[in-house]
Structure 1
Amino acid sequence: MPQLLGLAQKYQVFSLVIPRADRSHWDELLTRIEVEVERVLKESSRRQAVFVGESMGAVVLTLFLSRRPDLAASATLVNPATAEADEADVISPWLSVTQLPDELFPIVRFLAAPLVQDSSHPEPFLGPFRKVVQSLETLPQDTVAHRLRLLQESRRMLSDRVISSIHVPVAIVAAANDRLIPSYRESERLLKLFPKTMRLSKLVGGHAMLQNEDKFSLAQVLDTFDKFCAAGVCREITLDRQNLTDVKALKEYSYTELDSVQSRLDGLRRLVSPVFVGMERIPASGEKPILFVGNHVLLGFTDGPLLVDHMFQTRKILVRALAHPILFEGTPRETGGPPAFSVTGVPIIGAVGVSPRSLFSLLRQNQHILLYPGGAREACKRKNEKYQLFWPANQEFVRMCMRFNATIIPTASVGVEDALEIVLDSEELTRVPYVREWLLSQFKDRIVEARRWRNNVNDDKTKLELIMPLVRVAGISRQYFGFGRPIETSEYSDREGSSDERDIADQIYQRVKRELESLIDTMRVERDKDPYKEASERIKFELLNRAVPPSAWEWETKEGHCFEDYSS
């Protein structure tokens, strides 16, 4: 049995074998399994077991869990053969094949083996391929036909309602290159349905993933999933409109209007296929304000709206983005619609103009807030400044956070600046005859109004900060958002008003900046490992699989991907 040696080091392993001559229907089969599991648990003096099911075994396991979830500590489904009742029928063609003459069926088994085998293996007709062929040879023709009919029947039995009622921690393992059944697309559906679940997406492995022990360790998967569960990462998430913070900005809009903003972002999401990593690090409690401190990407059109939208969809939390006041021009709240910045055309819910007063007010209300300290200077980068931070020396936002015991979460955004190439930056544009005077005349009054609370609104350097560079699109890159570990300012609350308050605030300020820079570097390294970072490969995968392609981060929850170091 594959994987047995690794599993036996930690577990007492039992394997369920359905005899080839068995023609039981589901009720009889599941009853026998239930009796056998109870017997094994009683003899082992245990109340629960860890279950693993592969392919059709995952179907058997899911049906069993729907009857006896109390017997399972956790379950792992590998390349599950479950499917929606209205999913395209991939079973009937195989049933037709089982009606072929006996002398032709061995040829069919041999031809089916490459569909089961890992297509990325360098020696497709050796090693693991032999194991696949041998395993297929053990199944007589009438046995294959009976089990295919069971699979057809299971589609009706495993409705969305049944799967959603299974409150057992479930790990779903799926290979993106499974060519036998659409298990990766099915894993996306199951990830949404199981209340407590995580998914491990493998770029390679094929349908017979467990056959290749050199590349895939089931024992390691179970150990990692167990650590995630112990850390509370695999948890039940209830999405309820009541979770929304009761703020004035939301009272202005109906839920229909709020949902319309999300639908308007659908095209952008499909275009950049955003990946969110580290959502498990964001505290679930709303007892304290949370400040997301991020890097503003070039042009700054997409990072804020996508982040705010993702938090709204996954947790029904409204993140209040502190945006440059110039972006609200032409979009007065009295128009009745959700705010959509006229400069960018990208909608964002609940944004407010950035100022110390706005930040103070939102912190006092225990809000979730998004701040880009680099502001317009980072959005209007010049050449050779990719992903650099341009933060002011003033650390006032940290002192406000200390006053309200806020949690600061460094938030990195990567991808946009790999897709855009600066042709002319603001300095180069202003060297063009007559262009400098025209640009300054266009922005002068707006900058003065936007920076009224600052003292440097009249110098030309500040005025040039809002001049966007001339760029060309070099490609449509995937966007990545990473959340760092929370920094609790409540640890320093006793220093408020003390003589060293400014020094402490400066230390926290520098720590946030260092951790954000480190997070950006990490995200960029992992981005380079993603085979679907560019649009051409993503589109090809989505057309073939009708699912969002995996990324460099393998483990994920309903909210997004997880950092691997969290499981160590």
Structure 2
Amino acid sequence: MATIAFHLLSAVGLRIGENHKRSLGSPSRRLSVSVTAFSSDQWRFPDHEQRSAKSFWDYLDAARDFIRPEHNSPSRWFSPLETKAPCHGSPLLLFLPGIDGNGLGLIRQHQKLGQMFDIWCLHIPPSNRSTFTDLVEMVETTVQSENQRSPGKPIYLVGESLGACIALAVAACNPQIDLVLILSNPATSFGNSSLQHLAPLVKVLPDQLDLAFPSVLSLIPGGPIKRMIAHWVRGLPENETAANIYQDLVTTSSFTSILADTFRRETLLWKLMLLDAAALFANAHLHLVQAQTLILSSGNDQILPSTCEGKRLRKKLPKCEVRSFKDNGHCLFLEDGIDLVSIIKATSFYRRGSHQDYISDYIPPTISEFNKCYGVNRLLEVIMGPVFLSTTEDGKMVRGLGGIPSEGPVLLVGNHMLLASDKISLPGQFVHERNINLRPLVHPMMFTRLKDGLLPDVSVYDTLRMMGSVPISATHLHNLLSAKSHILLFPGGIREALHRKGEEYKLMWPEKAEFVRAAAKFGAKIVPFCGVGEDDFLRVVVDYNDQIKVPIVKEVLKSVTAEGPVVR
């Protein structure tokens, strides 16, 4: 039987398609758009990811074509995918734009999203004068139609600003439909923003603001001006810096021109009225929203108070999580470094059915995603200096993970060291050395909270979820074994990780090791391993038995325990 020893030696471009690819079922006019997608077998190679990435220039080029002069042009859906379809059973994703209305806000995300979703984007021409109710009814009609066509699949509504209000309204009016909401800087905070005071100024100074307002918008942090500043900070050579800044000045000029064409006086007044109506309706119906919701809040949003709004919505919505991006501006999805696919995967918000399947819905991290996750824990590994030793089938001990079977199902069973730092090192090392996606079975508190309190937010575990962690349960163990996965199990759980004085290296496993019976059922190889070293140089000075003797601390511990779900 193979074994593994784990030693710690030290301290702890989108373009308008010439051919219409397909027609989307919608009560309004349709527009066909194509982009180049890449196949699923390219997820592992960073060069493909880089070549497929769109830039802010692609957004500007496409936005020019989407500004139509027709009077009162109707809203319509368009698909940014070419003939290469997403994976089988992919759910529908409807993108609902902000006040710009062009529907191109996800242009930098289309190609990766296209591997996981069937994407439709809503285009609202600048000349369109649909009311908020009209837009909600249009999206609602599409949602109901697609739900009848594929009743077992969730429908994703990704909305930014105004689009977030539309998504909330549709969810409130259709609680019986399985919707997943991903909302970027929702305009539900319009009543607390400076935008609400803009309409009177537009009426008083219409000619001046026709040019001034787009110029102000072009300076929003997160726009072209942000990249200009970044070039100075990076300290590039003078000639390269000058070239980059010149390019950014051209980009800023083009952005301002597009904003000027998009937000003419009449259009701007209408959009502000639309935002006001949207915020009032959405806020009045928040109590009816039962959909699973993810709020993305920008900390440097100069248009809306998005940080405070994310916290407010977190308390109002029953199935809501928030992720904050403190250095980003209002147009989150157009900014460098923002990857919506990675966000969805790390927050465990991707599913193809009514319930999340941690086997079929799991998408392994790409090379760039792995490097980002691995980089977060790299400092800890440098401090800890872990050394991995394994035993091959012929009994030879080798350095590294060469003794681990390549084919699953494989169940690795070991002891938790103090503070469970082992769960951080092992998955990354398996990918780095053997290209094996190790699926750790972890405490459910890394996925959910029964109530808010003193425990850290679940967002701190996003990296572990990205790497494939699964809430521990008999059902999930059974499913992972049936899928021939490599599984990481610590039977001692959190009690073993938080052991007390005198319990160094003590196994706290349940009396009945049911995982053995489950592994035998599927013919899985059980690889026992031990982690040693940490308890040799760390000593527990104050443990649980000491803490509960202090009345205040005892009450705090009870409160913290009640925040997370219980395993056994």
Bin the TM-score by the shorter chain. Answer: 0.3 to 0.5
Name the TM-score, length of structure 1 as normaliser. 0.40
Structure with greater Cα Rg: 1
Higher relative contact order (CA 8 A, sep 6+): 2
Name the TM-score, length of structure 2 as normaliser. 0.40
